[in-house]
Amino acid sequence: MPPSVIVCTDTVQLFRHDVLTVLVRSLLSPGSACGLLLGESCGHWNSGASNWTVQFPGVPKPPVRPPVPPPPGTPVDRILFITDVHWDAAYKEGSNAECGEPLCCRKDDGLPTPGAVGAGYWGDHRKCDVPMRTIESMLQHIATNETFDFVLLDRRHPSTQHLATDTERPADSTGQSHGAFLAAFCFPPPFITGNLSSSWLYEDMASKWSRWLPHDALQTIRLGGFYTAQVKPGLRVVSLNMNFCSAENIWLLINDTDPAEQLHWFIKVLQEAETADEKVCTDGVTIPSWEWYSSELRTKALWQFFGHIHTDQFEVFYDEQTLKRPLGIAFLAPSVTTYYDLNPGYRVYEVDGDRSGSSRMVLDHHTFFLNLSEANADGGKSKPIWRLLYSARKALGLSSAFPQAWNDLVVRMQKDYAVFDLFWALLHTGHPPGLCRGYCHTALLCSLRTGRSEDPDLCAGLVPHEKFTLIKNLWLSQRRC
């Protein structure tokens, strides 16, 4: 059976109950349903989120205070951020790396066709995830050469092969089971109960994380997979379940109004942090597409660390009134997986450390990588060498790592193609697929400066309004909140 038929058949078998339940319970009109399933020739489906608002507490906003760099010699915290590991237990060196399926380099893919090169020992730039030995080599390098104040590890650990997901097969860790659920693009909100509910997953997460997190955090994990916890006095982490913001989540067709009331909870946490004079680190998988919380509670949501799309990017947030003053920045770190056309990588953030009056702002970040072509050159006989790919401020010529500097970089890259080409190469962890020009260039710059996935205003000057939909379709990530 051709691979495309296998994928289609397996997808129908795996998700048929979810899709049918959603179609029965959704409020889609016949035309919208037809457009969703068969395309624009059948009917129009508006993929944007429905109109709903979040309520903010009636507390005056803090005054705008431009960030100020700390004095030289002050303490700096180092934060390790690892995202999108995608370990493939079925990865096999020498296997077919061009198998025609969504994921290759697996033991069941057989040998490559005559004259073709098989999967590399440490991984492959084609549509393949990574073997455990590559992950272990990264962790050994980190343990030997680096020191950190704390570590943020996202929960996308298993392979991209979502069709192998099986809720009846016990997973080795909470991270694996959560990642398997993520890869399937089906994330039922709490109002879905019974056999299609995800409560089993959140219960397992809460159970396995109970030795690290306080009781209040475990309660919200059981509700919807999100939590907050104090890392140290004056510093709080908020981990969001961005599955509820994914345009790929079919369950949101039933009701996408603040699933699990996560955003209502988030606002409450931010306001309490404001009152308690705490700084907040926000992390999640899919990057958000609205900058409302940066605008409303602008002094506290300082770090925003995300992943999911595997490439190395950022997103600038602006004030709601003028859309001109940069207020915040979200960083998307490179993935460990090579899927696809990437080198493996990880990120280290430097932030203003423990001192009186610390801003806790990100001061710089450093990206480390494994040159896969170099590592595979001798068939895995030599130890792979992980090295620094770049430091953001030095490589990109940034005056600081504050939001204004990243905004200035976007403006500069509109005409300075030397800087843009460097950024394009770094975006792919040192393995760019080719030049990015025309709509590719415009779409990338537009995505860097707009947290509004349905609003073209922040791309004014880059692209005409009537071309915004075309440009947006080239973005690497589609978001709903």
Q: How far apart are CA 145 and CA 353, in angstroms?
A: 21
Q: How far apart are CA 401 and CA 133, in angstroms?
A: 34
> Which DSSP symbol is given to 91?
B
Contact by Cβ (8 Å): 118, 93 = yes
Contact by Cβ (8 Å): 14, 184 = yes
**86 appears as a binding residue in the annotation:** yes
Q: How far is CA 338 from CA 53, 106, 112, 176, 289, in A?
A: 38, 14, 19, 18, 25
> Which DSSP symbol is given to 292?
H
Closest CA to 338 of 84, 42, 48: 84
Contact by Cβ (8 Å): 367, 429 = yes
Distance of CA 300 to the CA centre of its chain: 21
Name 328's bridge partners.
317
**428 appears as a binding residue in the annotation:** no
Please list, in sequence order, all residues whose beta carbon lies within 8 angstroms of the beta carbon of residue 149, skipping any fewer than 6 positions away: 77, 78, 79, 353
**84 appears as a binding residue in the annotation:** yes
Please list, in sequence order, all residues whose beta carbon lies within 8 angstroms of the beta carbon of residue 13, skipping any fewer than 6 positions away: none
**308 appears as a binding residue in the annotation:** yes
- The Cβ of residue 478 has, within 10 Å, a number of other Cβ atoms equal to 16
Using only the alpha carbons of the chain, give its radius of gyration.
22
Q: How far is CA 106 from CA 90, 99, 169, 254, in A?
A: 5, 9, 20, 37
DSSP string, 202-222: HHHHHHHHTTTS-HHHHHHHH
Contact by Cβ (8 Å): 224, 241 = yes
Please list, in sequence order, all residues whose beta carbon lies within 8 angstroms of the beta carbon of residue 310, skipping any fewer than 6 positions away: 84, 334, 335, 337, 339, 342
Q: How far is CA 291 from CA 52, 109, 362, 451, 466, in A?
A: 15, 44, 18, 6, 23
Contact by Cβ (8 Å): 235, 152 = no
Tokens describing residue 56: 């903010």
Tokens describing residue 344: 């493996």
Binding-site annotation: residue ranges for Zn(2+): 84, 86, 308, 310
Binding-site annotation: residue ranges: 84, 86, 308, 310
